[in-house]
Every structure is written in C-alpha cells, then in structure tokens.
Structure 1
Amino acid sequence: MSSHHIVRDDQEPALIIANGEACSAELLGQLLEWSPLVIVLDSAIERVLELGIKIDVLLGDFDRGFDADYYKERQYPIEIVYAPNQEKTDLEKAFDYLIEKEHKAANVIWATGKRADHTITNITNIVAYRNKLKIVILDDHSKVFLLPSSFEKWYPQNTILSLIPIGKVSGISTQNLFYPLQEEVLTIGYRTGSSNHVTQDGIVSITHNEGDLLLMECWD
C-alpha cells in the first residue's frame, strides 16, 4: 500500500490504527489518502508493517519486549512515543498525544471487533475527550462519533442511525427519523435508540439537553 497523503497545516484528521479487527483495504486506503499523521499502537505494529503503510508515530507502553532500532530502520523517519501510564489504554494515550500536539480531530480504525471489552471501552471512552478532540471510530459496518447538543446532517432514505447514550441522556428530540423522539430520555442498559432509520432523503436533526450521546451510522 502506498504512503499516505500529506495535508498542509494538519487540517485533516490524524489516523490512529489500534489492534482490533482489521478493516477493508478500501476503507484504509481512503483514510490514508487524507491523513496528515498516522499513529500506530504498539500492539498492532507488526500487522501494520505487513501492509507496507508509512507510519509517523509508534505509541505504547512496549511491555512485550521492544527493539526501537528495528522499527526506526524499517520506518525511518518515525517518532517512537513511550507511554507507560497503566491507568489509560493505549488508544487514550494516542488521543492525549494528539491534544498535546494541538491536533483537532482523529479517525480511528481497528478499534472494534475481536475482544468485546476492548470494543466497548474504545467506543465509550471518546466521551472523555469532548471539546478536546473530534473523534470518529470507523469500521466496515459503522461510523461512531459523539454528538454535539445540536446536530444536523443530510442522509439518504433508510440510512440506519443508532443513538447510544453513555449513561443517561435527556431532552432528546429528532426530525426525519422513522422512530421520532420528542424531549425523551435514553439510558444505557434500559432504553437506547438502536436501529432507527432515515424517513426520507434530507436533513436529519438530533438535539439533546444533557448527557453524552453517540451516533452510529450503520450499514450491512
């Protein structure tokens, strides 16, 4: 796979490659084309190297034996970031790195599938970065991101949209969804907005008053 496209001034989202289920080559190629910076978590490095991807940053706690010179030779120039904090996942450490470097957004792949605990943690942890970093988690079947209090986007008819609350979310209202909500409450484990869909081609509007609400754009 060719090296990624460099975008001036880091205006496009950085790309973080975690260590879950691999996505399609098509999706990976699309994201690499517009990513000014590619970060790989150390647990995924060998899988990524096999794909011939140019890596900018290798980040992790490197707790399984690590030869920095080996990766510097294969990926020169590369920044190796040692992040030993055991209170955070490697993905969270990558988010922290981007915030420190004043990046504004990140796309994340290989963060779902495989272990369910990792998938749930990776998806739900993005709420802690509200107002710090715009994060989108993608795989071949979904796109997941945290909603602002007021959200509008054009979608084609029958697009599957799921509203997933992290904890309790109140005052949710929607327009142009088949199962409408009007000043309602969703609570994880009790009531969510899973598998809703767009009524007709056009703008979908979603607002909420309090809480952290994820939107999942889904396709089979």
Structure 2
Amino acid sequence: MQRNTALLFVNGEPPKFYPNNLDSYTYIAATDGAYHNYLINSPIIPNFIIGDLDSFDNSLTIPKQIEIIHTPDQNKTDFEKAILFLADKSVTTFDIYGACGHASDHFLGNISVAMKYYHRFQITFYDNYCHFFFAKRYQKMTNVKNRIISLMPLSKVTGLTITGFQYPLTKQTLSLGGSVSLRNKIISDLAKISFKNGDLIVFIEDLRNVN
C-alpha cells in the first residue's frame, strides 16, 4: 500500500471501469450522492461516506464498516469537503472518479475545487474517456506513448514548451479565448511539459475506449 493516497468517488457519470488496485489506497471514500447513485451497486465498500447527506437514504442498509461523515457546511461542495476531510488524515494524493458528466455546472465546480488545491495535493481525475490533471510547472509523463493529449489553459499560460509530442511547442502562450492545444499526440516514451505561469489542465485519452 502506498501511504497517504485516497480513491474518491463523486456524484457525476458512473464509471464504466473501476480501479483494480484497491489495496494500493490508504482510504476509499465517496460523497453521499456518489455512494447512493452508483457505488452502492459495485463491490467497492468505502471507508467513508462524506457530505451533507442530502442524498442519504435511511432506508438502505449501509455496511457497518463504513463511517458516515456528516459535513453540513453549505459554503463548500461535498467534493471539497471530502478533500479536506481526507487531507486531515494526511492524504496528499487523490484519484477522483465520477467528477464528470451529468450536470455541467457540477463538473466545472469540481475543476474549480481542484484548481484551488492542486498546488498542495496531487489530484488526478478519471472519467470514461480519459484522465486529466493540473500540470506542474515542470511535468514529465511516461507510459502514454501514442495517446491523444490536449492542453487546456484555465488562466493565461506563458512560456509553454512541450517535447515528445507530434506537434511540439516552444515558449508559446495559451489562453481561453485565444490559442489552446487540442488533440495532439504523444510520440515518445518520455513527454515533457514546462511553462512559466498559469493554470494548465492536461487531458490524456484512456486506451480502453479507443476503437
């Protein structure tokens, strides 16, 4: 087991694929909406159900080993409250499932939360098509050769250089409403991203969904 890692399920589109390395996580958690809407029908039993419990169905039988964490603060989303609860348990690495799909405002809200905390934690999202994360200023990527990759700036990204890509860039600027980098391809065993300033999301396709 790797220390200080958490698998967290939130209430978006249910995953088609669940991770098969559950023993590698220190904790498994779900927001109350995610648990009741899809995780309850899976073989995964989380350590914690976290949230304001507005989706909690008291008629359901919850396994006794699950701890219910009631977090009624309406100034934060259940996703953010789950991040903070697990951070208090020294979690520094989060794999997030179910953050996309269904209500688009919820997806953008989840991105906003990740943007707030990605400098403190390693946060990776997994949906049914790809995985994505906020890039560090100097980012190396392996085991992703021949995958489609997109770079989306959430704030102005300056001095962007990418190598190991089909279409490399050198000291470029990306911005919403300006230039972005979509549907590029990684052609090397080692790909690198570096930039000076800004907030940049990296999307990498999931090969399980490539026909």
TM-score of the two chains, using structure 2 as the length reference: 0.88
2: CA distance between counterparts of 1:155 and 1:16? 23
Could you list the runs of 5+ residues in structure 1 that have no partner in the other structure? 1-6
Matched letter for residue 166 of structure 1: L
Deviations 1:149-182 (A, max 9, x none): 1111224543111111112111111112122211
2:193 is matched with which residue?
206
- Report if aligned partners of 1:99, 1:132 keep a CA contact under 8 Å in 2: no
Q: What's the offset of the Cα at 1:64?
A: 4.9
CA RMSD of aligned residues (A): 2.0
2:81 aligned with 1:89: no
2: CA distance between counterparts of 1:203 and 1:64? 44
2:106 is matched with which residue?
118
2:23 aligned with 1:36: no
1: CA distance between counterparts of 2:32 and 2:43? 16
1: CA distance between counterparts of 2:144 and 2:52? 43
2: CA distance between counterparts of 1:31 and 1:165? 31
Percent identity at matched positions? Answer: 26
Higher mean C-alpha displacement, 205-214 vs 176-185: 176-185
2:146 aligned with 1:158: yes
2: CA distance between counterparts of 1:54 and 1:131? 30
Deviations 1:49-99 (A, max 9, x none): 2223212101111235664xx67x632122221112222211111111121
Specify which structure has the higher proportion of helix: 1
Q: What's the offset of the Cα at 1:11?
A: 1.5
TM-score of the two chains, using structure 1 as the length reference: 0.85
**Equivalent residues in 2 for 1:52-63 (5 A)?**
52-63=43-54
Could you list the runs of 5+ residues in structure 2 that have no partner in the other structure? none
Higher mean C-alpha displacement, 153-162 vs 83-92: 153-162
Q: What's the offset of the Cα at 1:211?
A: 1.1
Aligned residues: 206
- Report if aligned partners of 2:95, 2:124 keep a CA contact under 8 Å in 1: yes
Matched letter for residue 45 of structure 1: Y
- Report if aligned partners of 2:165, 2:188 keep a CA contact under 8 Å in 1: no
2: CA distance between counterparts of 1:103 and 1:54? 19
SS at 1:206 equivalent: strand
